Structures are given as C-alpha cells and as structure tokens.
Amino acid sequence: MRREAPELEVVIEVSRGSFLKRGSTGHIDFVSPLPCPFNYGAVPAYLGLEGDLLDALVLGPRLPFGARLRVRAWGAVTLMDRGMIDDKLVCSTQPITPADRERVLRFFRVYAKCKGFLNLLRRRPGRNACEGWIDAEQALARARPRDPAWRGPEVEF
C-alpha cells in the first residue's frame, strides 16, 4: 500500500515563465534565454546534500515570487551539479501523471547539459547530469533539517 505523499512548505524563488534564476539567498544566479516551465523554489526546513536549501518545483499555474504554500511532494529528480547531488522535489496540489513525470525528467536532462555549459564558462568543474527519478521520501531522507544558524550555501552556485 502506497503512503500518502509528504506535505511540505515551499517558498517560490522563480515563478513559472520567469527568465531570472534566483538562488536561495535571493540573488540573481543567471538570466535564462528560455522561461522557466515550472514554479521553482525551496523547502526552507531542509538542506540538500550540496548544502543549499532543498530544491522544489511546483507544477500548476504561475505563482508569485516569494509565495509560501503547503504542497505535496510526489517524487524527486536527482540532478548531478558539478559532481554534487542536488535533489529537486516535484510538488503539486494533486497527484502527478506519468506525462508530468516525463515532462519534468525531459526538462532536467536538457537543464543538466545547459548547467554544465554554464559551469564550464564559470570555470566550475565537475560532472553535470540528470540521474533520474526517485521517491520524495528518498530525497527527504538524504536531506537534513536546516539549522537556524544557516546563512546560505558554502559552495557558490
């Protein structure tokens, strides 16, 4: 029997359709040549394996920058960024479909290649790749609770 998808608070850092990619500290990381196809943000209660807030994307209509919402995590994409595992929770107010899952995976396969090129230009070495889909519970088990003293990632993104 499948457990209910975990519900988490997500803060939106990049609205669906935006060209600006912001980091967890609010600074602009880069300007994309293409609009973001998802609402992209983070779970402020957890840190991912790379030391930044645990990433989350929220399917559905455009949400404003800074919006906070409680939403279910239906799975996660594991992205390898400069050799570091960077899980991305995939969230929605309703269960995702197989087509949603494939669309997200297709996006992150392309995104990993683009991020690899950007990292090359920035002289930031390491492997970039989309490693595939995992259960949301697996991504949450790899994350750690955010310490109140956390002030931002130690690694520059």
Residues 140 and 78 sit within 8 Å (Cβ to Cβ) = no
1, HSE (Cβ side, Cα atoms, 13 Å): 2
Q: How confident is the model at residue 91, as a pLDDT?
A: 98
Predicted confidence (pLDDT) at residue 157 exceeds the cutoff of 60? no
pLDDT (mean) for 95-111: 95
Burial 66-104 (b: 16+ CB within 10 A, else e): eeeeebbbbbbbbbbbbebebbbbbbbeeebeeebeeeb
- The rounded distance, in Å, linking the Cα atoms of 57 and 13 is 10
Predicted confidence (pLDDT) at residue 28 exceeds the cutoff of 60? yes
- The rounded distance, in Å, linking the Cα atoms of 30 and 27 is 9
Residues 57 and 88 sit within 8 Å (Cβ to Cβ) = yes
pLDDT digits (tens, 9 = 90+) for 47-63: 998 888 999 999 999 99
Question: In a 10 Å sphere around its CB, with 0-12 CB exposed, 13-18 middle and 19+ buried, how is residue 148 labelled?
Answer: exposed
Domains of the chain plus CATH, in order, are 7-142 (3.90.80.10)
Place 100 in a pLDDT band, splitting at 50, 70 and 90.
Answer: very high
Place 92 in a pLDDT band, splitting at 50, 70 and 90.
Answer: very high
Q: Which range is least confidently modeled, 22-31, 36-45, 66-75, 125-134?
A: 22-31
Q: Considering only CA atoms, which of 45, 74, 38 is closest in space to residue 145?
A: 45
Q: How confident is the model at residue 142, as a pLDDT?
A: 96
- Alpha carbon separation from 78 to 67, 69, 90, 105, 121 (Å, rounded): 24, 23, 11, 10, 23
Predicted confidence (pLDDT) at residue 132 exceeds the cutoff of 70? yes
Does the pTM of the predicted model rise above 0.85?
yes
Q: How confident is the model at residue 94, as a pLDDT?
A: 94
